[in-house]
Chain A
Amino acid sequence: MEPVGLSSASSKDSTSLDVGSERNRYPYVTGTSVLGVKYKDGVALAADLGGSYGSTLRYKSVERIKAIGKHTLLGASGEISDFQEILRYLDELILYDNMWDDGNSLGPKEIHNYLNRVMYNRRNKFNPLWNSLVIGGVKNGQKYLGMVGMIGTHFEDNHVATGFGNHLARPIFRDEWREDMTFEEAVRLLEKCLRVLLYRDRSAINKFQIAKITDEGVTISQPYSLKTFWGFSAFKDPTKGAEGSW
């Protein structure tokens, strides 16, 4: 039983130009960067557990990486309610896939394509799902890592990042990523980027999850925190010799 929505006659947007159709919205509870890298045996995703409410770090246990079916991981940044809705769409998709019971199952490429269609069609109606999605997975030995944005931009790559990660993590990936990294090396690389994001992204919190997917299956780590380093001698007295500076 679908609950009845309220009529748009009482819309608080009624002063805007198009009454009746939904217009561009703005996000409320948001997640920050998601990082993804391919490594030798599969794909690894990393994200923090923060749900920001404007500038307040309001929710600190929001899991932004979820397993989809047997072969895929989905990480999201942006509006959490829209991510939760996407998870519901995917739940239905996977359910129907399982009901076929034909030995076949949806892999990361299919999920990526599906999400791309969803995002792009919503964008065309000026009612986007305010997320940047990272899709990673392994099926039949083939590794896959891709991204879909809120306007329907999509691509595949060996390493991806959303939000601030685009600016801070991708340069590090470009420099240090290798095709044949072990899981340990991939984790070190991701943690290096997570730490930088923790230093430089205001909406990052010190509570992370790293998820990995291989042909064997999905593992999402327990939440954990990283040590940070502040003990540079220059940090102790940064304005020495230049009083008034910062």
Chain B
Amino acid sequence: MHFTWRRGLLRLSTGAGWPSSLRFPHQSCLGFGCFCSRSPPIEVAMDPDHNAPHSMGTTIIGVTYDGGVVLGADSRTSTGMYVANRTSDKITQLTDNVYICRSGSAADSQIVSDYVRYFLHQHTIQLGQPATVKVAANLVRLLSYQNKNMLQMGVIVGGWDKYEGAQIYSVPLGGTILRQPFAIGGSGSSYLYGFFDKEWKEGMSKDEAEKLVVEAVSLAIARDGASGGVVRTVTINADGVARNFYTGDSLPLWHEELEPQDSLLDILSSSSAEPMST
């Protein structure tokens, strides 16, 4: 597979029938989903004229519960079809009490998080007390909005402060800011709208909320190629922050998924009749 430049358009030539509507990034990113699936295969332009936003790799979730928030994400960073990092940590700290889930371009979301952490640090010193979640989210929004032509990132900011308690703020492409009781983002989130419409409840307990997040990320990983690896969660409340890490074997199996084995040989030796059929 190689890229050629022709009159300002990035043309993709591959051997196998790779759908040319796939957008290949020129930098390592948190996975790149396809354009809206209704578009037919077209030449990928570097200055696209399309109106529909393209989804971004990753699955990220933020959920409030009674007393705190649970942030969740998968751990796959992809460059095109290659998984550059299978154990990335997309839930980044901004302050002691505010974390951010990042999706979209890895570089863009990382640098914005770094800037916001820097500003929040100074702000905390000046304020003399922990920064609020709202301030953190709005700093992210400012950078996102003012540089909307250049940045490609959708994030979820979540945390706890003593004024408003548990809060989740969504900052999607473009720099809109929206406070929500729960938020989902990234390409994997497409598969979760129905799940959350059904399963979301107000006033869950911490354990219920964490279970919901893990289940959701796991479902998204099952169907989204740009999401995978482990499920990471970060729980933030008045008592502090707790990080968790769920590997594949602790996650439930979904439709058409099989119990992982060490080897076929184990199956062969344990079963008696007709293990290999024609």
Tell me whether A and B are bound partners.
yes
Q: Which residues of A contact B (CB under 8 A)?
A: 1, 3-6, 8, 10-13, 15-16, 22-23, 25-29, 51, 53-56, 58-59, 61-62, 79-81, 84-85
Minimal Cβ-Cβ distance residue in B for A16: B47
**Contact size class for B?**
35 or more
Task: Known A-B contacts: A13-B150, A55-B36. Give 11 more (CB < 8 A).
Answer: A3-B115, A6-B147, A6-B151, A12-B46, A13-B47, A53-B53, A53-B173, A81-B148, A81-B174, A81-B177, A85-B145
How far is it, in angstroms, between the C-alpha of A3 and the C-alpha of B146 when the chains are bound? Answer: 9
Pairwise interchain contact A28-B53, C-beta atoms closer than 8 A: yes
- With a CB–CB cut-off of 8 A, which chain A residues contact B142? 3
User: Which of A26, A29, A61 is within 8 Å of B180, CB to CB?
Assistant: A61
B 138-187 contacts with A by CB, 8 A: 139, 141-143, 145-152, 170, 172-178, 180
Chain A residues with CB below 8 A from B150, complex form: 6, 8, 10-13
Complex CA–CA separation, A230 to B191 (angstroms): 29
Give Cα distance in the complex from A25 to B174, angstroms: 10
Other-chain residue from A3, A22, A29, A54 in contact with B149 (beta carbon distance below 8 A): A22
> A interface, by DSSP: helix, strand, loop or mixed?
loop
Residues on B facing A (Cβ under 8 Å): 8, 36, 38, 46-47, 50-53, 111, 115, 119, 122, 139, 141-143, 145-152, 170, 172-178, 180, 190, 193
Chain A to chain B: the 10 pairs with minimum beta-carbon distance, closest first: A54-B52, A28-B174, A81-B176, A28-B173, A81-B175, A80-B176, A81-B174, A15-B46, A16-B47, A29-B176
> Whole-angstrom distance from the CB of A94 to the nearest CB of chain B?
19
Distance (Å) between the CB of B142 and the closest chain A CB? 5
Interchain CA distance A27-B193 in the complex, whole Å: 22
Chain B positions within 8 Å of A80 at CB level = 174, 176, 178
Instruction: From B38, B51, B141, B193, name the one whose CB has the most chain A CB atoms within 10 angstroms.
Output: B51
* Minimum Cβ distance to chain B for residue A221 (Å): 20
- B176 touches which one: A3, A15, A84 (CB < 8 A)? A84
Would you give 24 A-B contacts (Cβ < 8 Å), ordered by A? A3-B115, A5-B143, A6-B150, A11-B149, A12-B46, A12-B152, A15-B8, A23-B149, A28-B174, A29-B172, A29-B174, A54-B51, A54-B52, A54-B53, A55-B52, A56-B193, A59-B180, A61-B180, A79-B174, A79-B176, A81-B148, A81-B176, A84-B176, A84-B177
